[in-house]
A = this chain, B = another copy of it.
Amino acid sequence: MNGQPTVGERLVIGNPGEDIFAFAAELYPICRSITGHGVRKTLRAIRSHVDLEVHEVPTGTEVFDWVVPREWNVRDAYIRDQRGREIVNLAGSNLHVMSYSVPVHRWISLAELKQHVYTLPDQPDLIPYRTSYYAENWAFCMPHRLLESLADERYEVLIDADLSDGSLSYGEYLHKGESEDEFLLSAHICHPSLANDNCSGVALLTHLAKRMAEVKTRYSYRFLFAPGTIGAITWLARNEESVKRIKHGLVVSMVGDGGGPTYKKSRRGDAKIDRILAHGLRHCGLKPTILDFSPYGYDERQYCSPGFNLPVGLFQRSQFGQIPEYHTSADNLEFIAPDHLALSYRLIAEAIDVVENDGIYRNVVARCEPQLGRRGLYGAIGGDKGTADANMAMLWVLNLSDGRHSLLDIAERADLPFSLVRRTAQILRDHGLLSVCDIGAEGAR
Q: B-contacting residues of A (Cβ < 8 Å)?
A: 63-66, 128-135, 229, 232-233, 236-237, 240, 267, 294-296, 301-302, 304-309, 321, 326-327, 363, 365-371, 373-374, 380-385, 388, 391-392, 395-396, 398-402, 414
Contacts and interface: CB of A to CB of B under 8 A. Distances in A.
Contacts of A392: 294-296
Given A307-B368, A363-B306, A368-B302, A326 B134 contact: no
A290 B63 CA distance: 47
Contacts of A382: 130-133
A373 B134 contact: yes
A321 B367 contact: no
30 contacts: A63-B368, A64-B365, A64-B367, A65-B371, A128-B383, A129-B383, A130-B383, A134-B371, A134-B374, A134-B380, A135-B380, A135-B381, A232-B368, A236-B368, A237-B367, A294-B392, A295-B398, A296-B388, A296-B395, A301-B395, A301-B399, A305-B368, A306-B399, A306-B401, A307-B365, A307-B366, A307-B367, A309-B402, A327-B383, A327-B385
A355 to B, nearest CB: 25
A429 to B, nearest CB: 16
Nearest to A320: B388
A321 B65 contact: no
A295 B383 contact: no
Contacts of A128: 383
A136 to B, nearest CB: 10
A11 B130 CA distance: 45
Nearest to A403: B306
Contact of A370 (B65, B129, B130, B385): B65
Contact of A305 (B295, B308, B366, B388): B366
Contact of A267 (B64, B399, B401): B399
A120 to B, nearest CB: 9
Given A134-B371, A371-B65, A306 B400 contact: yes
Contacts of A134: 371, 373-374, 380
Contact of A385 (B131, B326, B363, B399): B326
A367 B363 CA distance: 45
A369 B399 contact: no
A368 B64 contact: yes
A265 to B, nearest CB: 12
Contacts of A131: 381-383
A411 to B, nearest CB: 14
Nearest to A392: B296
B308 A367 contact: yes
B388 A321 contact: yes
A119 to B, nearest CB: 12
A241 to B, nearest CB: 12
Given A133-B373, A134-B374, A301-B395, 10 more contacts: A65-B365, A65-B370, A66-B368, A130-B381, A294-B392, A294-B414, A295-B398, A301-B369, A308-B367, A321-B388
Contacts of A374: 134
Contacts of A373: 133-135
Contacts of A366: 305-307
**Max chain B C-beta neighbours (<10 A), residue from A63, A295, A384, A398:** A295
B306 A240 contact: no
A133 B399 CA distance: 22
